[in-house]
Structure 1
Amino acid sequence: MTLLTKSKFISALQCPRLLWHSNKKLLPEVSIADQHRFDQGAEFEKFARLLFPEGINLENLDFNKNLEQTEKLIKNNVIIFEASFKDDNLFIRSDVLEPVDDKFNLYEIKSTTEVKPQHISDLAFQKYVLEKLNIKINKCFILHLNKEFTKNDEINPEELVKREEVTEQVNAIQDIEENTNKFLKILNQETSPDMTISKNCNKPYICPLKSECWSTLPKNNITQLTNWRQYWKLFEEGIQDIKDIPKDTILKPKDEVIREAVIKNKIQISIEHIKHSLNSLKYPLFHFDFETFDTAVPIFNKSKPYQKIPFQYSLHIQHKDGKLEHFEYLATGEEDPRIKLLEQLKNEIKGEGSVIVFNKSFEISVLKKLAEDFPQHSDWIQDVLDRIIDLAIPFQNYHYYNPIQKGKYSIKKVLPAITGNGYDNLEINNGLDASVQYFISHIKNKTKDNKLREHLLKYCCLDTEGMVWIIDELEKIIK
């Protein structure tokens, strides 16, 4: 029997095609980053359950045993974790059911720092199934992370977990039965529903089928434009290729640069703007990049849920005469890495000179939090903040644009576009993988994986060495 579960229901709200593929187990393999996110959710769930010390946990029971035990316990007025309920083709497991007189409070545990629309839909589907089984719901709640919580030795679940009532929002959803009937029909179809790409491909999550569904788009398609409202409007009008945008269509200046680059198949350069950017640099240049990890439940004192914890940096110091020095740090994972990282970095970024980063908002936010958590270093950190120059600006403003960037201006796109060198030959070639692999190896499993450390060092080194190369290429352009 094909069952519509709450996870399938949420998938169906995003896209019927996603529902069909998830039911047929035709989804791509779960990425290491997604698995890490699931693991963080499970870790938070342990703390949320501590709010109900009398709760009985059924999560380790198999399908039929869980249903049997739930049926028995529901009559005994006890708190239940992972209670299972089935009504014909509908199946749910509820995170927490708490008896209140002849009714129940229904709780959903989410490792986010706020309530999101999909959480309400999740609870509404559960409530619908429970009420079909004559189980009355008193109130509905989301248990989520308190974003203001700061760890200070032992964690108090009452402080970490925020209990937010959402009964009114849940009751406002009136189309559960209609959607349920529609989704059950899709589950039983022989073939996948035909769907066109839309905003839902990224909302509320990036769909695991996105790369497959979007693979049919032209090489230079309109989703590479920066104005997403305009490109969806064009898409709805049947325009997919940038070259097919009518000439009289007024685009934003950045998108005009993209269109011009595609039509002429030529790099677009604003020499005056690039000159202005380079003239603001003060040597020596300190090319700098952090790598960080974050966890739902803080593991170090003086840290909050999902706070970025820097565990690695790379620093290239570029002197006016061309001399280049490289410094790096990679924590061992045995303790909070922040103090040692700060102390070493403080000895390396000294004197005067611009501190070069790529996309400054990230490094600035990490540095500001370090200054807040370790005020003994705040004066030095403020000096570094005052000297930061964002190398992404010329690319963010499309003063340099190569069609191979495909509308993006991250260093992963810019570096190969301007230098011909990229990240493809590295074992670790993006920041998310670096973060998760470090966390699993060094924090979770406490292993000393020297090969992984070598890969992490190479990856972070390329980020800062790449910035040196980018400036060298920009200097050549203006000459």
Structure 2
Amino acid sequence: MTPITKSLYLQFLKCQNSFHLIREGVVTKPTTSSFGGYLEWGDFLSLCKNQFPNSPTIEKSPNREEGFAQSLALISQNISHFSAQLRYQNLVCSVEFLEYDTERDGWILWDFRPIGSIKQDILRSFFFYKQVAEGMGLRVLGFKIIRIQTKFVYKGGPILPEDYLLIEDMTPRMESESGIRTEEWNKFQNEIQKTSEQSVHYSFLENNPSCRSLKTCLSPSHCAKGKENAKEIFDYRDSSELAKQWFATGYTSYESVPDGELSPIQKIQKEAHKTGMVHFDKEALSQYLSNVTKTVAFLDFESVNPYLPIYPDTKPFQHIPYLYSLHIWNGETDTLVHKTYLHEDIGSDPRQYILSHLQNDLPKDITIFSFNDFFEKLIIQESANVYPEYLEFWESVKSMFIDLALPFKKLWIYHPMQNGKASLKEILPCFSKESHIGLTIREGQDANYQYLRLIKKQVTTEEKKRVLEDLIAYCKLDSYGLFLIYRMLQEKLSVI
């Protein structure tokens, strides 16, 4: 029988259909790992392990039986150990630390997570561990987690575990929510029993209470047989559960949903898709651009946000800029200038250099366009707080920013090729010949990861040169894309 892991159990709670499809090997399990988490995991794990000196570790092995046997041997001797490999019937799991409490003669289940807050999946994971452990005959006394203290401010030197780590006893919360967790588990057990000797009936509507969209479905051909192409209705803005009701009614396309069931912005989408024409609200866009200066700037930052702080006066997960791309367009002379700065001295804090170069490169008193400008403004503000000689610069530019994402969020302009999306990467190909598809680095998470690789010295000298070039190319297209979108808006305003 195929073993049921913790991740498979969590998948069941998200979507019963996907649980069966993955378990039967029909589809592959979706990846949940983000770019480059492993680059920091080893250091984080070491800090956690330092809390339990002299405890043995079950090393990973291709042969899982060895791990189960080693854990059983240690459990039989009441020895606490890391990476405990537990198995009960067809349920298997790996517990970060299995601690034996001598005084109470029982076991405490520990989890190590590089996160700042507790989510439902943590509690569900603990419950899964508990079911396996108790099935093996272990007396489970409690649940504890080591996570990140998000208020921690790094001051340089070695990170001290007592300041950086937050040890939290989850036992009271597990006890208070035991009814919810038990209900989930019983539902899981009933489904296993119900489907053990018969084929599974897949239904997007009947068997998928938490799944709201065919866009995220692992296998529409199973869950919505014959209606695999009904994804259009889930592209409607702000549709969520409503789109599921439309699907149940039999609507399969933008055009099929009656106007009476649509919001004003959804009607805009429908009309654009029916006619193939770009929606353009001249009045709203004219007002939006009414105070733009003759010379304008287009700014994009790339940052790294490690959960193990690297630079002094930073917090876990704080975004630290290491690269910017700045396009400056003079509307009177129709000239475009590009300026960029990439911090190549990996061992030093890039923020002061970023601020210094940006202050020199950015003309005074001009409009600055960014896409979701909250991020760019936060980068400058937080950096200037650490280097107060640039606070005056921050004060001079903060009111000059305009968010170029706003017209697309508000649907003042909408291209049918957007398919309901409003990200720069989706918008740019709709209104220009440019696209991120041909780049080696195509998204911000990857750029973050690549620079972290440089910091962690995970690249060769030759590869470092290529990565730096790729980072510059990616950031440059983002700011150039902003320029193209702005010019497009201007041109449309002048001809409509």
Q: Which moved more, 1:422-431 or 1:156-165?
A: 422-431
Give the distance between the partners of 1:344 and 1:396, measured in 2 at CA: 32
Match of 2:52 in 1: 52
What aligned pairs does 1:440-479 form with structure 2 within 5 A after superposition?
A: 440-448=453-461, 449=463, 450-479=465-494
1:159 aligns with 2:163: yes
Counterpart for residue 245 of structure 1? 257
The equivalent residue for 1:357 is: 370
Residues 168 and 58 from structure 1, CA distance in 2 versus in 1: closer, same or farther, beyond 3 angstroms? same
Shift of residue 126, structure 1, vs aligned partner:
0.8
Question: Aligned to 1:128, which of 115, 131, 138?
Answer: 131
After superposition, the Cα gap between the structure-2 partners of 1:71 and 1:426, relative to the gap in structure 1 and judged at 3 Å, is closer
Sequence identity, in percent?
Answer: 24
Which one of the candidate residues 301, 306, 311 is aligned to 1:295? 306
How far did residue 60 of structure 1 move?
3.2
Tell me if structure 2 keeps the 8 A contact 1:334–1:443. Answer: no
Q: CA 1:201/1:296 → structure 2, altered by over 3 Å: closer, same or farther?
A: farther
Partner residue in 2 for 1:169: 173
**Cα pair distance change 1:176/1:418, threshold 3 Å:** closer
The TM-score with structure 2 as length reference comes to 0.87
Which stretch of structure 1 is more off in the superposition, 190-199 or 444-453?
190-199
Local SS of the residue matching 1:81: strand
Q: Distance in 2 between matches of 1:446 and 1:58?
A: 30
8 Å CA contact retained: 1:356, 1:391: yes
**Does the CA-based 8 Å contact 1:16-1:186 persist in structure 2?**
no
1:400 to 406, 413, 421: 413
Q: In the alignment, which residue of structure 2 is the partner of 1:424?
A: 437
Query: What's the offset of the Cα at 1:29?
Result: 8.2
Task: Name which of structure 1's ranges 54-63 and 349-358 shifts more when overlaid on structure 2.
Answer: 54-63
The count of corresponding residues between Structure 1 and Structure 2 is 475
Q: Is the 8 A contact 1:2 1:187 kept in 2?
A: no
Aligned amino acid, residue 460 of structure 2? T
What is the CA distance between 1:384 and its match in structure 2? Answer: 2.0
2:336 alignment partner in structure 1: 324
Instruction: Give CA deviations for 1:4-61 in whole Å, capped at 9, x if unaligned.
Output: 1212211221123433444456427859x63523554454333222222232211335
Whichever residue aligns with residue 382 of structure 2, its letter is K
Q: Is 1:5 paired with 2:13?
A: no
The offset of 1:287, in angstroms, is 0.8
Q: Deviations over 1:331-375 (max 9, x none)?
A: 223333222222211211242111111111221222222123333
The whole-number CA distance in structure 1 between the counterparts of 2:190 and 2:387 is: 55
1:81 aligned partner: 82
Contact 2:294 2:330 in 1 (8 A): yes
Query: Residue in 1 aligned with 2:37?
Result: 37
The answer on whether the counterparts of 2:324 and 2:341 sit within 8 Å (CA) in structure 1 is yes
Aligned equivalents of 2:11, 2:456: Cα separation in 1: 32
Bigger mean CA offset, 110-119 vs 131-140: 131-140
CA shift for structure 1 position 188 = 6.3
Name 1:409's counterpart in structure 2: 422
Q: Specify whether residues 444 and 377 from structure 1 end up closer, same or farther in structure 2 by C-alpha distance, changes over 3 A only.
A: same
Answer with 223-232 or 291-300: which moved more: 223-232
Q: Which runs of 5+ in 1 are unaligned?
A: none
1:428, distance to aligned residue in structure 2 (A)? 2.2
Q: Secondary structure at the match of 1:170?
A: helix
Conservation of the 8 A alpha-carbon contact between 1:140 and 1:165: yes
Q: Is the 8 A contact 2:86 2:93 kept in 1?
A: yes
Change in Cα spacing, 1:459 to 1:209, as seen in structure 2 (3 Å) is: same
TM superposition shift of 1:125: 1.0
CA distance, structure 2, for counterparts of residue 108 and residue 208 of structure 1: 30
1:207–1:82 CA distance, 2 compared to 1 (3 A)? farther
User: Is the 8 Å Cα contact of residues 220 and 228 (structure 2) preserved in structure 1?
Assistant: no
CA distance in 2, matches of 1:291, 1:323: 25
- 1:124 deviation in Å? 0.5
Contact 1:405 1:414 in 2 (8 A): yes
Give, in whole Å, the separation in 2 of the partners of 1:465 and 1:60: 47
State the alpha-carbon separation in 2 of the partners of residues 244 and 343 from structure 1. Answer: 55
Q: 1:189 & 1:325 partners in 2: Cα distance? A: 68
Match of 1:375 among 388, 398, 401: 388
Contact 1:143 1:161 in 2 (8 A): yes
1:227·1:252 contact (CA, 8 Å) conserved in 2?
no
List aligned pairs for 1:104-253, cutoff 5 A. 104-152=107-155, 153-171=157-175, 172=178, 173-175=181-183, 177-182=185-190, 184=192, 194-196=202-204, 200-201=210-211, 209=218, 216-218=228-230, 220-249=232-261, 251-253=262-264
Equivalents in 1 of 2:199, 2:446: separation in Å?
35
Change over 3 Å in CA distance of 1:17–1:232 after alignment to 2: closer
Decide whether the 8 Å contact of 2:39 with 2:453 is kept in 1: no
Indicate how the Cα distance of structure 1 residues 404 and 108 shifts in structure 2: closer, same or farther if over 3 A, else same: same
CA shift in 2, pair 1:169/1:331, >3 Å: same
Look up the match of 1:275: 286
* C-alpha deviation, 1:398, in angstroms: 0.8
The 3 A distance-change label for structure 1 pair 118 and 431 is same
Equivalent residue letter for 1:116: K
Q: What is the letter of the counterpart of residue 287 of structure 1?
A: F
Q: 1:317 to 1:220 in 2, by over 3 A?
A: same
- Tell me, yes or no, if the aligned pair for 2:300 and 2:324 is still in contact at 8 Å: yes
1:369-402 C-alpha deviation (Å, 9 max, x unpaired): 2123333322212322221111112222111111
Deviation of 1:180 after TM superposition, in Å, equals 4.7
Query: Gaps spanning 5+ residues in structure 2: where?
Result: none
- CA-based RMSD of the aligned residues comes to 2.9
- Once residues 169 and 482 of structure 2 are traced to their aligned partners in structure 1, the CA distance between those partners, rounded to angstroms, is 48
Question: For 2:435, what is the secondary structure of its paired residue?
Answer: coil
Question: Match for residue 316 of structure 2?
Answer: 305
Separation in structure 1 between the aligned mates of residue 219 and residue 310 of structure 2, nearest angstrom: 34
* CA shift for structure 1 position 444: 4.2
The alignment's TM-score, normalised by the length of structure 1, stands at: 0.90
Alignment check: 8 A CA contact 1:143 1:164 kept: yes
Q: Amino acid of the residue matched to residue 422 of structure 1?
A: S
